[in-house]
Amino acid sequence: DADVTQTPRNRITKTGKRIMLECSQTKGHDRMYWYRQDPGLGLRLIYYSFDVKDINKGEISDGYSVSRQAQAKFSLSLESAIPNQTALYFCATSDAGTGGQETQYFGPGTRLLVL
Amino acid sequence: AQSVTQLGSHVSVSEGALVLLRCNYSSSVPPYLFWYVQYPNQGLQLLLKYTSAATLVKGINGFEAEFKKSETSFHLTKPSAHMSDAAEYFCAVSSPNFNKFYFGSGTKLNVKP
């Protein structure tokens, strides 16, 4: 969905490096989410934010941090990347709270490889 | 607590055959249920959703799913598979007040000519 964009689309980094994945949306939604996808495990929630001043940990937040710079922007950081953080990362927004029925809209994903 | 179980990580059908992808959920409150599809190298796209209206939900691309409370199921079906249906399918559960989604582990659908 072009309304949710993620940069970069692909990233290779080394163990111990700090990296940031960025997400922007033009849907006007308050709620934003970061997931990681691993083969056979589906999507697991890392962090979520219901508005600019609200940040919540998901299932697997250890080793990650987030920043909600504006309603439209939600960044995910790996403070010190490790190989088991190699995964496909998705950003999503939700229309809940804006009269919608809790549908999530996903970005195209960022494929991260940690060497 | 909420969770989703998808039976079968891989399903293979012939073109023109019935597609049945299974999803069972666990929820302590009336659930919202969703099916998403992921084509290779793409993000997730909403196929259909159940939000306590009609129990038979029709989605895009000819897919439909039926909410069965007694069986805690929300299986996805399509009468006749097309080659273009080959993708990975995810079932997800949420609730009106819970504000979080839980995804199943996914089912990869292969369609044989």
Instruction: Nearest by CB to A90, from B43, B46, B94: name it.
Output: B43
Amino acid at B108: K
CA B14 to CA B18: how far, in whole Å?
A: 8
Tens digits of per-residue pLDDT, B34-69? 999 999 888 899 999 887 778 899 999 999 999 998
Chain length of chain B: 113
CB contact under 8 A, B45 and A106: yes
| Surface of A (70-99) touching B: CB under 8 A | 90, 92, 96
| Residue B98 pLDDT exceeds 90 | no
- Mean pLDDT across the stretch B13-31? 90
Selected residue of B6, B101, B107 to mutate for chain A interface (largest A Cβ count, 10 A)? B101
CB proximity B56 to A under 8 Å: no
Q: Which stretches in chain A have pLDDT values below 70?
A: 1-2, 96-102
CA A24 to CA B61: how far, in whole Å?
A: 28
Q: Are strands B10-14 and B107-112 parallel, antiparallel or unpaired?
A: parallel
Q: How far is B110 from chain A (nearest CA, A)?
A: 16
DSSP classification of residue B30 = P
CB proximity B42 to A under 8 Å: yes
* pLDDT band (50, 70, 90) for residue B97: low
- Is the Cβ–Cβ distance between A105 and A5 less than 8 Å? no
Q: How far is B105 from chain A (nearest CA, A)?
A: 4
pLDDT of residue A97: 57
CB proximity B44 to A under 8 Å: yes
In chain B, which ranges are E strands?
3-7, 10-14, 19-26, 32-38, 44-50, 56-58, 64-68, 73-78, 87-94, 102-103, 107-112
Sign of the CA dihedral running A38, A42, A46, A50: positive
CB proximity B9 to A under 8 Å: yes
Amino acid at A69: Q
Tens digits of per-residue pLDDT, B71-94? 999 999 999 999 999 999 999 988
The strand pairing partners of B92, in sequence order, are: B34, B103
- Is the Cβ–Cβ distance between A69 and A75 less than 8 Å? yes
pLDDT of residue B40: 86
**Of the candidates A28, A31, A3, A19, which has an alpha carbon nearest to the alpha carbon of residue A89?**
A19
Distances (CA, A) of B100 to A74, B33, B73: 17, 12, 19
